[in-house]
Amino acid sequence: MLPDDLTQNLSIAACPVPTEQLPLNEYEDLKESWFFRWATLEPSRYIGRMLWVWLWSWAIAAPIAAASFPFEKHPAKFLITSSDGAILLLLLVLIRLYLGWSYVSSRLMDAKVFYEESGWYDGQTWVKPAEVLARDRLVVSYQIQPILKRMQVTFAVLAGILGMGAMVWRFLN
């Protein structure tokens, strides 16, 4: 009979999940990717990236807003419409970030890992050993939850800005 430590190590070593489909490796890949890394940046750089996306989005939204509200005739409506349009484009970027991080979070939190051996038609499920599950849940608690919380706060701030724009719009009519 094998000691418990050796049994657990053997179950981790005998993991049938391909390395690129292991939730911890998916987390590492996400953390190192160009786009998804934005959510892990220090606050000032994170805000800078969001402002950068908003400005480029504003460059797309402003001509559309100008078609309905020319700046010369309706400067306030033009600014509100173009800014809100840019925020909507920024929201699409944030939603993509959030979905990627929440997907990896759920894969790490789940006690079972669904994986594909060679294609979409032969999916299998692997039950994580307690040691792996505890490690993965710690990663979620200390690494991913703060990222998701930051993005939730960003969503709330953007919703507040959109709400303020709507209130100002009402006063303009």
Confidence (pLDDT) at 12:
57
The count of other CB atoms within 10 Å of the CB of residue 107 is 18
Confidence (pLDDT) at 24:
95
Q: What is the pLDDT of residues 129-138, one digit of tens each?
A: 999 999 999 9
Q: What is the pLDDT of residues 97-110, one digit of tens each?
A: 999 999 999 999 99
Work out the mean pLDDT of the chain and round it to a whole number: 90
Q: What are residue 115's phi and psi, to 5 degrees? A: -145, 165
Mean pLDDT of 2-16: 54
Q: Rounded to whole angstroms, how far apart are CA atoms 22 and 115?
A: 8
Q: Model's pTM, two decimal places?
A: 0.86
